[in-house]
Amino acid sequence: MKIYFKLLEKTDIAVLDSHTGSIFSSLLDKYTISFIDIRKESIHFFPLIKAIGKYLLSFLKEELSYLYLIEVIKTIKPKICLSAQDANTVFYKLDKYFKDINFTTCQQGLKDDYCIDHFSDISGDYFAFGDAYKKLLNNNLTKIQIIGSLKSNMNILDRNKIKRICYISGFSGHPINSAVFRNVNYAEFAYVPHYCGLSILNNFCINNNIDLVIASKSYREPSKEKREKVFQSEYRLFRNILGEEPKLIKSNAYETAGNSELSVCDHSSLGYELIGRDCKVVFLNLVSYFHNEKSYKFGWPQKYDDKGAFWTNIYDTQYINQMLTNIWEMNKDEYEKLILPYKSVLMYYDKNNTKLIKHIESIISN
């Protein structure tokens, strides 16, 4: 932990926190931005002293971390506070404290029944993936707009796709956010769904002479050490499933999957992001099938049939093979027409995040 004794200066924008909020840097380079660490990476001494005083005066009833954030925000006097970590309940608590500062957060990842519990106090301005989440999260306390995915909106994908199939890793080194499975190790939780889905896909690729690669999820980790740890865990998992050395690619998964002719996934926000970008995707939502998890079905919180043109929530080898054949052979125009009804519902695409930028500009200019 670093302790800073330098006095904080006034800023246009406060971002909570530096770990997930670094994505805002390239969008807002014409403004002054302060990144506020909320994971104890760093502490500012003078706001901390003030917070400790108020903590003692409250007879230890208020959380010290919350009082500290209040003092930091009071000092830097931002016009807007941003967060890309939308399940942060403290962020919404701060919004209710600072009535004269705009609080804006953006959706981070897919949700499930357990995770939705964290959104009971959502407030301020919220930018969601699509209409489905706008309806789900609406509690009349916040203004919800549709922007899609911050990261996807910024990524450039190649128009000329590589003739291969990319399997999107859903690996996580963390407990699963599910009321039933949140304390279960991921490899144990998802081994059977991955094994069944990836085995069918691997045989399909062999029979049709198609190259199969796997997009590693390790690129999302903040440090080199964590990236390597996740990559090695993924490598062991997929080697065990395939019975051979997997073609696991470390680099940016948006590019690995988005530049492939077809991507296949289970329950993956990247899969939906690619739909928003008109990329071919097939969803094998077998976690929902083997663990009876309704919020792991395709399109949740929307309710679709268990079998569709490019998805299945049912383990059916014959159906999956036919679906893979249909989508692989489908031309670009046919596929774009097929997914058109789903794009605004599941994952909107706003190139270069123009909606968010205009929103921030209007607040700062006023």
- Peptide bond between residue 266 and the one before it cis (omega within 30 degrees of 0): no
Per residue in 16-38, pLDDT (tens digit) is 987 778 888 888 888 999 999 98
| 8-state DSSP, 87 | T
Q: Give the rounded distance of the alpha carbon of 91 from its chain centre.
A: 18
CB 69 within 8 A of CB 16: yes
C-alpha triplet 101, 106, 108: angle, nearest 5°: 140
Q: Give the rounded distance of the alpha carbon of 34 from its chain centre.
A: 23
- Per domain, the residue ranges of the chain are 2-148+351-365, 154-346
Per residue in 43-64, pLDDT (tens digit) is 999 999 999 999 999 988 899 9
Low-confidence ranges of the chain (pLDDT < 70): 172-189
Residue 232 makes CB contacts below 8 A (sequence gap 6+) with: none
Instruction: Choose the CATH number for 154-346 among 1.10.1660, 1.10.3470, 3.40.50, 3.20.20.
Output: 3.40.50
Look up the pTM and report it. Answer: 0.91
| 8-state DSSP, 214 | E
Give pLDDT, residue 323. 98
Say if domain 2-148+351-365 classifies as CATH 1.10.3470: no
Q: Give the rounded distance of the alpha carbon of 54 from its chain centre.
A: 36
